[in-house]
């Protein structure tokens, strides 16, 4: 069986770090001049609820995913 190693969508480096964290309701976000704290917002592209999960490239710093994201609840005042 051949193992497929994921690569960065920007620079094609195989040096992707997978971040998984459980932060319960202790997430703090500063965005668009607003500060919120509580659960991880689901519309930021890095997890949601109690969990933070994303991949990023250790060579170029690119967070992996589909961007741009639509306006978030924080930006719209629905934090």
Q: What is residue 16's DSSP assignment? A: E
Burial, 51: exposed, middle or buried (Cβ in 10 Å; 0-12, 13-18, 19+)? middle
Asked if residue 42 has pLDDT above 90, the reply is: yes
Q: For residue 43, what are the CA distances in angstroms to 1, 48, 49? A: 36, 8, 10
pLDDT above 90 for 77: no
Is 28 domain-assigned? yes
Residue 79 lies in a domain: no
| Percentage with pLDDT > 70 across the chain | 99
Which structural domain range is residue 12 located in? 1-61
In a domain, 40, yes or no: yes
Q: pLDDT value at position 79?
A: 63
Residue 66, domain member (yes or no): no
pLDDT band at 5 (very low <50, low <70, confident <90, very high): confident
Q: Does residue 23 sit within a domain?
A: yes
Report whether 23 contacts 68 (CB < 8 A). Answer: no
**pTM listed for this prediction:** 0.78
Q: Count of domains in the chain?
A: 1
34 domain-assigned: yes
Average pLDDT of the residues in 7-36: 95
Please tell me the predicted confidence (pLDDT) of residue 78.
76
């Amino acid at each position: 069986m051949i193992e497929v190693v994921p690569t960065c969508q920007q620079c094609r480096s195989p040096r992707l770090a997978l971040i998984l964290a459980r932060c319960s309701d202790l997430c703090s976000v500063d965005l668009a001049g607003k500060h919120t704290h509580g659960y991880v917002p689901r519309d930021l592209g890095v997890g949601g609820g109690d969990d933070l999960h994303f991949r990023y490239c250790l060579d170029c710093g690119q967070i992996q995913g589909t961007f741009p994201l639509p306006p978030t609840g924080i930006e719209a005042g629905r934090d």
